[in-house]
Chain A
């Protein structure tokens, strides 16, 4: 797999790996240099940082893996955050009506899965660009979640409190395991599976796919199908990790976070190029940047600006390095 991907992505993967290690190093150095702690306790706390990273980035990576596939094929889904909100609202409605945990989990997963497939269908039926359809979905699903909560939960007051450990299984107890399985499955699929390569082909040229005898419509739909599975898992992990579901405000800006991770991972936003591994590394990179700013005691008011600047610099430098090659390719 590593040999098949292009040189620029390979460099990006190496950069992200190095970057992640560097950021971890900075955190460790900060912990060790703390004035009032022993080395053992610093190492212990560094362990906690690493152990917490998995569960905390799990929703971003899970949704990111699904969206990466969709972007491979040249489409985009901006409504993932809002779909997660609908899934969370369904979970809340089922919970408030006294369904048992398994039914709630299933309802949450299926809602996200079905909506993702519906997005795919809508894009094909209306023949409108995916950005527009899912941009509409971004606001539409948010409103839908609010209306559903209002209509199906008596005395809905803006939030649904879920204080019952049985309903928090996937998000609180097993997020790391779920994430690990999903990552391994995605990487194995990328290495040995055929479909991701077909998606990439579709992203390069739908017309070429059609001439080759493949069905572009089906390929596009299959990305949303697979994306739906990952998004369902992401919704499950995210929703069950919350004690309190607020349809109006949960998962705000989630799509931008996920897209940031994907693009940082070297996937071409216009399709046809990319890797699942990059998305995973990109998500961890963004997460560790936030962590480092906290551990390095950077002033509160400067953190967001530094995060933004870092994304711009990393991608800017990378693009600049490959610009000449790209221009030559373009004019071939």
Chain B
């Protein structure tokens, strides 16, 4: 370093850094060359030879048993139909992370993208971008009505589920007394849609029922248990709880079991049979609801393939392995998978949802 012992700002960049950066660029160019040559012969830059259909599926988040079951159903459909499935998603329920996945797949030029949006409004621009490049876009599990998606595959009619839950709990509470809500987060759109329908119906149909508390369980069964234990202690006159996600229901059931208030406080909600089986058998709660998540994944992929192939999706259309297509009453681009299954002690062993 010939700078008379003085270190000028940035001189190291000029002396060695520049030369080395040029070298690095050359090395990288060489690497790219190898990559490029190694896979030459295929004429498409989109990576898909055109003959094979590629469908990308984006859950709200990965590593969670509900969406894992959806994935298995989707994989089954992909295998049956001979298409290639890319299933990936963010590790946290974040809208902007999901947008990045949509951008990546748009660039890779997949044929269809099936999205379960965390934030329905934020995907709009990315859906538009994908559609500009001729990619079909479906939503599933949770809707983004204004995004310009081609089709929504809804597991259940939102209104029906919310009202079914409140009706069930009202019947168990004899339509009077205090009730509470447990919900994973205040941002999850579909959970809060169900919650809203339930609250509205409680106000209009069950005047003697009083909503006393809403607790947030942060998508963690252990947090749910702790929060519900607190709630039970705080509200000695509580008669019913509706829990709106697959972690809150088992957490609430465990809390009822540990505090010995089972039977005294009614509980219902939607969760997975695998986790709820012990509680149902012990009689901690009478019933809970779910649809088959594998069927949801399966139907989504089957419909996506039909749309990619240019088939018209119409009511009462027969789909292999599913009931004939039923559309939502309010939305002609929304397919309803099924009515929610009511699980009780008697029928819980009849179903295998894979979770």
Contact = CB atoms under 8 A, between A and B. Distances in A.
B207 interface: no
A244 B279 CA distance: 13
A219 B258 CA distance: 43
B293 to A, nearest CB: 11
Contacts of A7: none
A246 B278 contact: no
Contacts of A161: 274-275
Contact of A48 (B186, B233, B278): B233
B68 interface: yes
A36 B210 CA distance: 14
B267 to A, nearest CB: 15
Contacts of B236: 37, 41, 45
B234 interface: yes
Contact of A157 (B65, B216, B278): B65
Contacts of A153: none
Given A243-B221, A244-B221, A250-B222, A158 B233 contact: no
A35 to B, nearest CB: 10
B222 A242 contact: yes
B222 A52 contact: no
Contacts of A250: 220, 222
Contacts of B186: 300-301
Interface in A223-247: 238, 241-244, 246-247
A246 B214 contact: no
Contacts of B229: 52
Given A161-B275, A301-B186, A45 B233 contact: yes
Nearest to A301: B186
Given A49-B233, A249-B64, A163 B355 contact: no
Quick one: which of B230, B237, B354 has the most chain A CB within 10 A? Answer: B230
Given A243-B254, A294-B230, A248 B221 contact: no
A301 B215 CA distance: 10
| Interface of chain B: mostly helix, strand, loop or mixed | helix
Interface string B112-136: 0000000000000000000000000
A56 interface: yes
Interface in B328-354: 354
A252 interface: yes
Contacts of A52: 229-230, 233
A295 B234 CA distance: 7
Interface string B161-183: 00000000000000000000000
A248 B62 contact: yes
Contacts of B234: 45, 294-295
A291 interface: yes
A56 B226 contact: yes
A11 interface: no
A159 interface: yes
B250 A246 contact: no
B332 to A, nearest CB: 35
B37 to A, nearest CB: 33
A242 B233 contact: no
A146 interface: yes
Given A248-B64, A300-B214, A291 B230 contact: yes
Contact of A243 (B67, B69, B250): B250
B40 interface: no
A246 B222 CA distance: 10
Nearest to B277: A163
Contacts of B258: 172
Interface string B58-78: 000011110111000000000
Interface string A247-258: 111101000000
A37 B234 CA distance: 11
Interface string A288-317: 000100110000110000000000000000
A159 B274 CA distance: 11
A45 B237 CA distance: 12
B96 interface: no
Interface in B223-271: 225-226, 229-231, 233-234, 236-237, 247, 250, 254, 258
Nearest to A30: B234
Contacts of B68: 157-158
A37 B221 CA distance: 30
B91 A248 contact: yes
Given A300-B214, A300-B216, A301-B186, A163 B226 contact: no
B316 to A, nearest CB: 34
Contacts of B278: 163
Quick one: which of A48, A241, A249, A252 has the most chain B CB within 10 A? Answer: A249
Interface of A: 36-37, 41, 45, 48-49, 52, 56, 146, 157-159, 161, 163, 172, 238, 241-244, 246-250, 252, 291, 294-295, 300-301
29 contacts: A37-B236, A45-B233, A45-B234, A45-B236, A48-B233, A56-B226, A157-B65, A157-B68, A157-B69, A157-B354, A157-B355, A158-B65, A159-B64, A161-B274, A172-B258, A243-B221, A243-B225, A243-B250, A244-B247, A244-B250, A246-B220, A246-B221, A248-B62, A248-B63, A249-B64, A249-B219, A252-B218, A294-B231, A301-B186
| 6 A-B pairs with least C-beta separation | A248-B63, A157-B68, A158-B65, A157-B65, A163-B278, A158-B68
